[in-house]
Every structure is written in C-alpha cells, then in structure tokens.
Structure 1
Amino acid sequence: MYRYDEFDYGFVRERVAEFRDQVERRLEGELNEDEFKPLRLRNGLYLQLHAYMLRIAVPYGVLSPRQLRQLAYIGRKYDRNYGHFTTRQNLQFNWIKLVDVPDILSDLADVEMHCIQTSGNCIRNTTADPYAGAAHDELEDPRVWCEIIRQWSTLHPEFSWLPRKFKIAISGAAEDRAATAFHDIGLRLVKGKNGEVGFKVLVGGGMGRTPYVGQEIRPFLEKQHLLSYLDSILRIYNRYGRRDNIFKARIKILVNHLGIDKFREEVEADWEKTRKDLVDLPQEEYERIDAYFQPPELTPGPVTDEAVEQRRETDPVFAQWMRHNVKPHKVPGHGIVVVSLKEPGRTPGDASSEGMELVADLAEQYSHSEIRVNYTQNLILPHVALGDIPALYDALAEAGLATGNNDLLGDMICCPGLDYCNLANARSIPIAKEIAKRFEDPTRQEEIGDIRVNMSGCINACGHHHSGNIGILGVDKKGTELYQITLGGNPKDDAAIGTIIGPGFRAEAVPDAIDTIVSTYIEKRDEGETFLETWRRVGADPFKEALYGAG
C-alpha cells in the first residue's frame, strides 16, 4: 500500500494544526456556526442529529493492521467503542465531541490517515474493486491509478470548490465490483485493439434525488492521458455545472441536459486545446507509485486443500461460509476472504473496537498484513492461504464475524438513517434489522440465492437503494414514515436503476413486503435464474399483484 513521503507527512500535520486553531476559536465563540461550517466540512466533520460525526478517508478501501488498530483505539477512547464502515469505503464515528477532534486528527496522522476530501464540494475518496491486486479476473491493479488521482486531486486549485461533491470509481477486473456506472466518473481498465491497456470512461452516473446510469464518453483512453482527460471533464463541469440549485448541481444533471454527444464534444475540444505533458503523469512517477502496490510473494499451491474439504463435508455452516465468503484468488492455493459485518441483529457496517483489533491481528497472521473495505460495508482479507482458512474461520466465528451471507439477502447495505442523520426522513437501521431477522435462517438464504437488498433513509441514497435488486427508500408523508420499494436495480456491468413497484409501506409492514417479493420470485423463477433475471423476464405485474392485489 502507499506510504507517506515527506510532503504527505508535513501536509497532514499542517492541516491538523490549522484545524486545532479553528476548533479553539469556535469553542471560544470567535467563530459562529456559519463561519465554522465550511472549515469543519473540509476536515470531514459533520453536525448530525445528536452529535458530531467524523468521516475518515480510507483511500480506495485499503487499510494496514496498524491503521485498523488505531481506528479501534479512537472508537474506544472518543466514541462508543465502534465505527461504521460506509458505501464509500470510508469509516465514520457518530458520537464525536468537537473538543476532541484535533486530537483525533493527530492520532490519525500518526498512522498516515486523515479526513481530507471526505466532505464538501470536492473530489471525494476514489473507490476501487476491494479485491484489487488479488482478483483472478483482474486485468491490472486499479489502486495505482486511485492513488494517482488522490495525489492529483488533493487541493487541486481548479477543483477545490466544485458545484457539488464529485465521486470517481475504478475497476480493473472483468466483473465490476466498484459500481462504476453509478459514479460521476467511472473508469474501467480494458484492452484496446492492439492489446494495450487503457480506460473505458463513463460519465454522469449517480444516485440521489435524480438517479442516472453513467454513459460512455470514451470507449478507450490511453492510460498515460488519464489526468489530462479528467482535467477536461472536470473543467467542463466546473464551467457549466449549476450553482444556483443544489439539487441540479451534479454532473449527471449537466450530462443529461446537454446530452452525452454534446458533453463529449465540449470535453474533447477542451482536451485538444489544453492537453499538456505537465498535466499527464511522467512514466517514472507512475513507476514510483506502482512500486507501492506490488503484490505479496505468494507460493502457488493446490486449488483444493484436504483439511478444508473434510471440514466442508462435516460442518455445513462452515461450508456455506466457504461458498459465499471465500472468493477465487489469482494465485492458486489462496482465497479472498470476506469478513461479514452483517450478523443478524447488528447494524450493517458497524464494527466494534474489539472486532477491528481482531481483524487487524488476523490480517497480520493470515493475509500478509492487508485489509480492504468494500462498498457493501464489509471487510476483506485479500491474501489467505487455503490451508489457513479453517483456523481463520474459527477465530472469526468466535467473535461473531463469520456469518456466511456475502451477496445473500442478509448482506444488506444500509445507511444510518434517522437514528443519526439530520438529512434523513425515516429510520433505516431498525427496518434492516427486522428484515435480517426475518431471513436469518441460512437454509432459506441459500434457497433464495444471490440477491442485493439496499436501504436508504432518504432520497440522498447513501444506502444505494436505486441499485439494489430490491431497494427500500424511507420517506416522510405528513409525519408518517413510509417505505417505497423498487425492484430490478443492479450495480454491476449491466447497471440499472430500480423501478418503483407501488405505494409505500409502513415500517411494520416492510418485512412482510420483502417476504412477499422473495416468495413471488421463488414461485416464478426458472431453474438457475437469479432474482434480476426473473424480474427482467416476467416484469413487474406478478410482484405488484402479490403486494397489492389484482386490479
């Protein structure tokens, strides 16, 4: 993973000192909230319903054991002994005192972490495939380019105050595990006509009040020109993006207004006019950054392990966990392990300080000291030898972290909702827990198969409900919390926005509604069909009739 250089150390320490002074002035009454707000947002600090929330950057979802232990320490000392992993591969602390924030930022700086670019109208944390560097279907490791974008975008003089926040995601594998089509810019590493590797560039994707799937602006862009091309996209957005209406300020609105062809014309013209070698990265600088992401030296081994196979035959719970939470690795004899933060009864994405410390220990022991965060709010151990998997599983199971539900119904994405967020219209956590309880039987989840259920407590869609095969959106209707259900969303290669199925449900009726949807799917599916395939074949009518009755 990337290591700080002298500039990084100095820059982050200076930011800590600056914000310490700003916090002191706020506490002494020298700054009012209106004056302080832009300063705190630039340091990842939000004022929520009950307390301050601090959002910590986890660039492209990569953590070291030392960093994860520091997050555990901060959670124990300054919060309520836990942290919440987000759909942007970051971590949030929800019960922070303002007076403690400078010390927290200093503690983060000790382990090469910060909160810069986690809020405000800037280029946010660039996200990536959580299996990067380990995936069997990977063309190239996208984390190198994520780090390049991080360095390029941090305090970029032209893009520090954009019309709205800006999100970029990169995938380097055959399967899109980074939801690139739902980002302001989505980048897919692909092969060109002559076998060279470059980027397919998508633009104008996003969720929120007006969801859009990103559109292709360039089928192939040479890697060496990525920064200058991003420069032009952002310059056109900065020039024409609306600043008079917060709801129409995102690049997706601009692309839709102009049309992808006109937007492409504007970008290409700007790129031809302004492209300079000084914008694009020199090869030696690329090689310097690439050197930080060299994979660990793994010894190839057999694709099966006798002890693992015996355990699978005698322990059905372990067998289910293996089926869903251990993914193929590009080095034979190894696996990618998903550590579920979705045990029934727990808030999706929450990790206790003790849990974080355990995962840090296990990463050192079994995963070459690497940990990843994925956008579905779980943790990943990317480099585990097959022979070590039973011992790793036992340690996770003892801590309640071995739920074998990855990509099953119990693996819900869920935002904090009205329990924490002052933007939310409805609760999400209690509803998610009730749904998880309804479907906690592993046998039933297995029967249902892979399905993505996402839930948001408001139209801002932090829970990615638009891209859920089943999406749930909490809304407020004259003081009553209602939950609108969408079907058919998909975050992957054939990305799609879910269709609203009908009127919303009261909170207590939502688990029954999800149960009805799932039962209808099982009744209507052909052999081997996923939920999405069945939905696309039979359409909305069977689900509407099951939920609301005929006519």
Structure 2
Amino acid sequence: MYQYNEYDHQIIGQRVNQFRDQTQRYLDGKISDEHFLPLRLQNGLYVQRVAPMMRIAVPYGTLNARQLRQIARITRDYDKGYAHISTRQNIQLNWPELERVPDILADLAEVEMHAVQTSGNCIRNTTTDQFAGVAVDEIEDPRPWCEIIRQWSTFHPEFAFLPRKFKIAVCASAEDRAAVLVHDIGLQIIHNEQGETRFKVIVGGGLGRTPVVGSVIHEALEPQHLLSYLDAILRVYNQLGRRDNKFKARIKILVKAMGAEAFRELVDAEWQQIKDGPLLLTNEEIARAKTFFVPPAYEALGNEDLQALALEGPDFARWLRHNVQPHKKAGYAIATLPLKNAGVAPGDISAEQLEAVAALSEQFGFGEIRSTHQQNLVLPDVKQADLYKLWQALVPLQLAAPVVGTLNDMICCPGGDFCSLANAKSIPVADAIHRRFDNLDYLYDLGEIELNISGCMNACGHHHIGHIGILGVDKKGQEFFQVSLGGKQGNEAGIGNILGPSFAREEIPEVIEKILATYVEKRNPEERFIDTFHRIGMDPFKERAYA
C-alpha cells in the first residue's frame, strides 16, 4: 500500500493543527455555525441526530494491521468501543465529541490516515474491488491507478467546492465488484489487442433521489491521459452543474439533461486544451505508483485439496464454501470476514474484534486488511493450509458466519438511529430480517440474493441496486418502508422497480418471506432470484405481497 512521504506527513500535520484552531474558535463562539460547516465537512465531520459522526478515509479499501489497531484504540479512547464500515469502504465513528475530534485526527496522522474529503462537495474516497491485486479474474491491479487519482484529487483547489459530492470507482476484473456503472465516474480497466492498458470511462451514474446507470463517453482512454481527461470532466461539471438545487446538482442530472454525446463533446473540447500539459502522466510516474503495490513475499506452494479440507467438519465446510474465494497465487486464498450478526448493526465492529483482525492479518497473511462495499472485512493472503486454523480463530470472535453472498449478508446504512437525514430506522429492519431468516439451509437453498436497506432517499444502503431493496419513507411522521425488486450491480447494473405502496416496519419480515416464497415456487432449477424476477416480472411478487 502507499506509504506517506515527508510532504504527506507535513500536509496532514498542518491540516490537523489548522482544524484544531478552527474547532477551538468555534467552541469559543468566534466562528458561526454557517462558517464552521464547510470547515468540519472538509475534515470528515457531520452533525448527526444524537452526536457528531466522523468519517475516516480508507483509500481503495486497503488497511494495514498498525492502522487497524489505532482505529481500535481510537474507538475506546474517543468513542463507544466500536466502528462502522461504510459502503464506500471508509470507517465511521458515531459518537466522537466535537472538542476531541482534532485529537482523533492527530492520532490518525500517526498511522498515515486522515478524514480529508470524506464529506462535503468534493471528490470523495476513490473505491475499487476489495479483492484488487489478488483476484483471479483481474487483468491488473487497479490500486496504483486509484492512488494516482487520490493524489491528484486530494486538496485539488479547483474542485474543493463542486456543485455536489463526487465519487469515482475503478475496476480491473471481469466481474465488476466496484459498481463502476453507478458512480459519478466509473473507470473499467481493459487491455487492447496488444495487451496495453486502457480505460473505459463511464460518467453520470449514481443512486440517491434520481438513480441512474452511467454512460460510456470514452471506450479506450490511454493511461497517460487519465488525469487530464478526469480533470476535463470535472471542469465541465464544475462550470455547468446546477448550484441552485442540491437535489439536481449531481453530474448524473447534467449528463441526463444534456445527453451523453453532448456532454462528451464538451469534455473533449476542454480536454484538447489540457491533454498534453502538466497532467500528462509519464511512464516514470506510473511506475512509481506501481512500486507501492508489488506482490508480497509469497511462498512457492501448491494448491490444497479444498474438498479434503472441508472434511474437518460441516461448520468449517460451510464457511469454506461461502466465505473463501480463490486467489491468483497457488496455495493461497481470500477470506471474507462478515460483519453480519443478529443484534449488531451490519458493518459494525468492536475494538476487540478490530485488534483481533489486526493480529490475524499478521498471523495468516502479510498484515493487510481490506474493507468492502458489502460492509465486511477481507484477509487477502491466507495460505490454504491455514484456513482451518483461521476459521477456528474467527468463530469465537463472531467473524465466521458463513453467510457471504446470502440474504443475511445485507447492506444497511445507519439510518434513523444515527443519521439526521434519515426518514426511518434501518438497523431494526435489518435485525428483524436477520432473525427471521436464520436457518442456513434455507439461506443456501435461496442462493445468491442481495438485500440492501437505506433509511432515506440518499441511498447510502444502495437499495436501488439490491435484488431486494428496502427504503425508509416518512408518512405523516410515521416510519414506513418501500420495497423494490430487480435491482442489480455489476456488469449489467440496473435499478430496481418499486413493488407498490409502502409497509409498516413490523410488516417487512413477512413481506420479504412472501417474496422469497414466490421465488421458490416460480424458479427454474439453478435459477437465481434476480433471474427468476426478470423472467416472470413483478406481478407474481406483488400479488403475493399484498394478498
């Protein structure tokens, strides 16, 4: 992973000192709420329903053991002993005290972390595949390109106050695990016939109040022009994006209003003026970025017989089948640690668990951890021969639930329990569903189902692209929940369709049960939920749900 140089340390240190002074002046009444708002947002601090919320940047979802231990200590010293993994691979603290936030930032800086540009109308954390660098289906590691984008976008003076927040995702694998089609900019890395790297550039995707699948505006961008082309896109958006209505300020609205072809023409015109200027990426700079992501010291191993390993016991066999993914290096595997347990908000992890995962990453890998869009953690480099020992260590930590890819591996935003924007509490809905469908045999029979829950139209829970999506809505001061079906992320991303009128919170588990029963009755052999839905349409599900 990227290592700070002396300039990085100096810049982040100065930012900490600057915000410490700004916070003290605010507490002393010398800065108004209005003027403090952009200052705190630039440092990842929100004012939520019951306490501030602080969002810590995890660039492209990559952490090391030292950083994870520091997060654990911070949650104990400054919070309530746990952290939350967000759908953008960041880490959130839900209970920091405002006057202590500068101390948190200082402690983060000690381990080369910060909260810069995790909120506000700027370019946010660049995300990618949680299996980047080790996935068997990738053509190259996308993280060097994410790092190049991060360095270009961080503290970019022209794009510090965009019309609205801006999100970029990069993917280099056959299966799109970064959801590039629903980002403001999505970059799909491809190779041409000569094996040279190119970027398919997708613009104008996004969820929220107006969900849109992005449009391709460049089929094969040469890598030396990556930053200048991104810069051109942001310049057009910065000039033409609406600032009079925040609900219509995202780039997706601009692209949709103009049309993708007209937008591309404006970008190309802007790009021609800057493409061969200072933003031109040299081979030396690209090579420098790649030096931070060289493969670790893998041993020369042969692949284990995983079927024989599974004979260690049925519980381990289930974990092996659902939570372990293949690795590009022979003799190694990728282990996903789901943060999905009854009674705990999806994505929450305690200080004790954080410390344990840090230790396990060193014992069973190279001290590296990944955070995921699905609000889980990943150990990317586990020897296959060590999988049983790892599983034994994870079980008492409650990090071994064999539910990855199932209904209970759900995504859920913090909702009304924390967020001041939420219309409804999403965590109790997630817990009720988890408890209702706790039979593993039933979950496995259902197969792959993506269930996503958002507490409001901002769609932090990505409900629009869940096979089953649940959205909290307000009805005359009462919490209700709207259900959508047929959403999908990945290479064929699509927006779900609303089932019908919303339901009361206590009705949701039964509604989900009716939807699942319809699927089981109507599916063909080996057919997934999403495939059955697209084959038979909405009507059978709607009839059962409202019967």
Q: Shorter chain as normaliser: what TM range?
A: over 0.9
Aligned residues of 1:232 and 1:271 also touching (Cα < 8 A): yes
Structure 2 counterpart of 1:364, from 362, 365, 377: 362
- Equivalent AA in structure 2 for residue 499 of structure 1: N
| Deviation of the 1:283 alpha carbon | 1.4
Q: Which residue of 2 aligns with 1:77?
A: 77
Give the Cα–Cα distance (whole angstroms) in 2 for the partners of residues 483 and 130 of structure 1.
Answer: 30
| Deviation of the 1:309 alpha carbon | 3.8
Structure 2 SS opposite 1:166? coil
RMSD of aligned C-alpha atoms?
A: 1.0
| Deviation of the 1:297 alpha carbon | 2.3
Summarize the alignment of residues 188-267 of structure 1 with structure 2, pairs less than 5 Å apart. Answer: 188-267=188-267
| Deviation of the 1:300 alpha carbon | 4.0
Structure 2 SS opposite 1:236? helix
Q: Which residue of 2 aligns with 1:113?
A: 113
Structure 2 counterpart of 1:376, from 374, 377, 386: 374
- The two structures have a TM-score, normalised by structure 1, of 0.98
Aligned residues of 1:472 and 1:483 also touching (Cα < 8 A): yes
- Equivalent AA in structure 1 for residue 263 of structure 2: F
Structure 2 counterpart of 1:514, from 512, 515, 524: 512
Deviations 1:203-245 (A, max 9, x none): 0000000000011111111111110110111111111100000
Give the Cα–Cα distance (whole angstroms) in 2 for the partners of residues 456 and 123 of structure 1.
Answer: 23
| Deviation of the 1:197 alpha carbon | 1.6
Q: Which residue of 2 aligns with 1:545?
A: 543
Structure 2 SS opposite 1:447? helix
Q: Which residue of 2 aligns with 1:407?
A: 405
| Deviation of the 1:195 alpha carbon | 2.9
Summarize the alignment of residues 21-170 of structure 1 with structure 2, pairs less than 5 Å apart. Answer: 21-170=21-170
Structure 1 SS opposite 2:94? strand
Give the Cα–Cα distance (whole angstroms) in 1 for the partners of residues 349 and 382 of structure 2.
Answer: 21
Deviations 1:351-375 (A, max 9, x none): 0000000000000111211100011
- Equivalent AA in structure 1 for residue 202 of structure 2: L
Give the Cα–Cα distance (whole angstroms) in 2 for the partners of residues 512 and 314 of structure 1.
Answer: 37
Structure 2 counterpart of 1:457, from 437, 448, 455: 455
| Deviation of the 1:74 alpha carbon | 0.4
Residues 1:499 and 2:510 aligned together: no
Give the Cα–Cα distance (whole angstroms) in 1 for the partners of residues 354 and 280 of structure 2.
Answer: 38
Q: Which residue of 2 aligns with 1:437?
A: 435
Aligned residues of 2:223 and 2:281 also touching (Cα < 8 A): no
Structure 1 SS opposite 2:445? helix
Structure 2 SS opposite 1:158? helix
Deviations 1:268-310 (A, max 9, x none): 11112332241122211111111010011212433324xx544
Q: Which residue of 2 aligns with 1:417?
A: 415
Structure 2 SS opposite 1:95? coil
Deviations 1:62-86 (A, max 9, x none): 0000000000000011100000000
Give the Cα–Cα distance (whole angstroms) in 1 for the partners of residues 412 and 272 of structure 2.
Answer: 43
Structure 2 counterpart of 1:346, from 340, 344, 347: 344
Structure 2 SS opposite 1:327? strand
Q: Which residue of 2 aligns with 1:527?
A: 525
Aligned residues of 1:46 and 1:52 also touching (Cα < 8 A): yes
- Equivalent AA in structure 1 for residue 496 of structure 2: G
Aligned residues of 1:65 and 1:364 also touching (Cα < 8 A): yes
- Equivalent AA in structure 2 for residue 432 of structure 1: A
Give the Cα–Cα distance (whole angstroms) in 2 for the partners of residues 538 and 200 of structure 1.
Answer: 33
- Equivalent AA in structure 2 for residue 517 of structure 1: I
Summarize the alignment of residues 176-187 of structure 1 with structure 2, pairs less than 5 Å apart. Answer: 176-187=176-187
Residues 1:275 and 2:275 aligned together: yes
Structure 2 counterpart of 1:316, from 314, 317, 320: 314
Deviations 1:405-458 (A, max 9, x none): 111000000000000000000000001000011111111111111110000000
Q: Decide whether aligned partners of structure 1 residues 226 and 495 sit closer, same or farther in structure 2, where only a CA change above 3 A counts.
A: same
- Equivalent AA in structure 1 for residue 535 of structure 2: R
Deviations 1:31-76 (A, max 9, x none): 1211211111110011101111110000000000000000000001
Deviates more, 1:338-347 or 1:421-430: 338-347
Where does structure 1 differ by over 4 angstroms across 4 or more consecutive aligned residues?
none
- The two structures have a TM-score, normalised by structure 2, of 0.99
Give the Cα–Cα distance (whole angstroms) in 1 for the partners of residues 302 and 145 of structure 2.
Answer: 32
Give the Cα–Cα distance (whole angstroms) in 1 for the partners of residues 262 and 192 of structure 2.
Answer: 24
- Equivalent AA in structure 2 for residue 396 of structure 1: L
Give the Cα–Cα distance (whole angstroms) in 2 for the partners of residues 141 and 314 of structure 1.
Answer: 34
Q: Decide whether aligned partners of structure 1 residues 300 and 518 sit closer, same or farther in structure 2, where only a CA change above 3 A counts.
A: farther
Give the Cα–Cα distance (whole angstroms) in 1 for the partners of residues 280 and 273 of structure 2.
Answer: 14
Structure 2 SS opposite 1:25? helix
- Equivalent AA in structure 2 for residue 153 of structure 1: S
Give the Cα–Cα distance (whole angstroms) in 1 for the partners of residues 349 and 207 of structure 2.
Answer: 26
Structure 2 SS opposite 1:421? coil
Structure 2 SS opposite 1:451? coil
Structure 1 SS opposite 2:158? coil
Deviations 1:461-503 (A, max 9, x none): 0000001000000000111111100001011100000000111
Deviations 1:298-324 (A, max 9, x none): 12433324xx54452352221111111
Structure 1 SS opposite 2:38? helix
Q: Which residue of 2 aligns with 1:488?
A: 486
Aligned residues of 1:344 and 1:410 also touching (Cα < 8 A): no
Q: Which residue of 2 aligns with 1:330?
A: 328
Aligned residues of 1:334 and 1:385 also touching (Cα < 8 A): yes
Give the Cα–Cα distance (whole angstroms) in 2 for the partners of residues 405 and 8 of structure 1.
Answer: 40
Structure 1 SS opposite 2:242? coil
Aligned residues of 1:237 and 1:254 also touching (Cα < 8 A): yes
Residues 1:473 and 2:471 aligned together: yes
Q: How many residues align?
A: 547
Give the Cα–Cα distance (whole angstroms) in 1 for the partners of residues 521 and 301 of structure 2.
Answer: 43
Aligned residues of 2:87 and 2:461 also touching (Cα < 8 A): yes
| Deviation of the 1:194 alpha carbon | 3.3
Give the Cα–Cα distance (whole angstroms) in 2 for the partners of residues 489 and 406 of structure 1.
Answer: 19
Structure 1 SS opposite 2:169? strand
Q: Which residue of 1 aligns with 2:17?
A: 17
Give the Cα–Cα distance (whole angstroms) in 2 for the partners of residues 280 and 514 of structure 1.
Answer: 52
Aligned residues of 2:54 and 2:94 also touching (Cα < 8 A): yes
Aligned residues of 2:411 and 2:462 also touching (Cα < 8 A): yes
Q: Which runs of 5+ in 1 are unaligned?
A: none
Aligned residues of 1:199 and 1:219 also touching (Cα < 8 A): yes
Give the Cα–Cα distance (whole angstroms) in 1 for the partners of residues 222 and 274 of structure 2.
Answer: 17
Report percent identity of matched pairs.
55
Deviations 1:143-179 (A, max 9, x none): 1011100100111121111100000000111110011
